[in-house]
Structure 1
């Protein structure tokens, strides 16, 4: 019998996220200079920082490239940032090998076809509500939130609550 997503969440040590469509709402605003600006949800950022400070591995793997995104993620304490990544599966395998992480301990949240193959390798493939049909089909957890609108916060908060770390974090008792 297949495990429920809540059973899998009990063993999560690592969160990996795509950027566009997961940390953002898939929109880009293009300036006259050709710079592409993205909007990120502040609550997603709070949850990512909480996860880092609570000892979880947090990684971002994205095909997109933006120095602004890199700076935002670094300010949250995330050090494993793979932007302009042509092969997400290779980046994932290198990452888990580096930190000796078992694939079944990983949540990977993606939203579209470039995330498909890496999502098949993890314990908990997850996606925002507004993800492509192919990604929704293989996801064991579909957030009730859209990309860029709290889907990242949703999955992190659920894992941390199940593991008894969320309330500890926000009560100021974390290390």
Structure 2
């Protein structure tokens, strides 16, 4: 695990790439086109612990698989998802947020362009070597294998109040594992 803390403004937004971070990065095709992506467990739980501290938003460059990502990210998890070019991502982010307040999590061959300019960056264990070289923190887990949950716990510990596994989270926090009957 690697951790390079940058002395910058307190983070206000966590932007995550979808494919390779929330998913395995694999695309399953049939004769009809892209039909499946594999999303991991516990990542939504970790994100629910961050929601009171940071805005959480997702980006994807996968136009053909956007409806699949939308189903999981927007419909099931309730977060914003934007279709953003992988090579124009830093411009898109800079138009919306002060870069020093951004935490970005990515894995791809172009994500290092973002990671080198934002306040803090995270890469999953199986990220591209350039992404890992520019990451402030590298998770011990791969994308879709609880890497996002690990990143969330790291963010809480580094910038806010660490998660205490001995205490049940407050009922004022809407957790992803809660359902109404």
TM bracket (short chain): 0.7 to 0.9
Distance 1:73 1:160 in 2: 21
Q: Is the 8 A contact 2:93 2:99 kept in 1?
A: no
Query: What are the within-5 Å matches in structure 2 for residues 145-164 of structure 1?
Result: 145-162=141-158, 163-164=160-161
Distance 2:5 2:116 in 1: 18
Distance 1:27 1:9, change over 3 A: farther
Q: Is the 8 A contact 2:103 2:120 kept in 1?
A: yes
| Structure 2 unmatched ranges of 5 or more | 175-181
Deviations along 1:42-86, one digit per CA (max 9) or x if unpaired, are: 31122223322x14111112211321211211132212x112535
The structure with the greater share of residues assigned to helix is 1
Q: Give SS of 1:70's match.
A: helix
Q: Is the 8 A contact 1:105 1:123 kept in 2?
A: yes
Distance 2:121 2:6 in 1: 13
Q: Does 1:23 align with 2:22?
A: yes
Query: What are the within-5 Å matches in structure 2 for residues 19-98 of structure 1?
Result: 19-52=18-51, 54-65=52-63, 66-74=66-74, 75-79=76-80, 81-83=81-83, 85=85, 87-96=88-97
Q: Is the 8 A contact 2:9 2:119 kept in 1?
A: no
The two structures have a TM-score, normalised by structure 1, of 0.81
The two structures have a TM-score, normalised by structure 2, of 0.79
Q: Give SS of 1:71's match.
A: helix
Distance 1:35 1:131 in 2: 22
What stretches of structure 1 move > 6 A for 4+ residues in a row?
Answer: none
Count of residues in correspondence between the two structures:
165
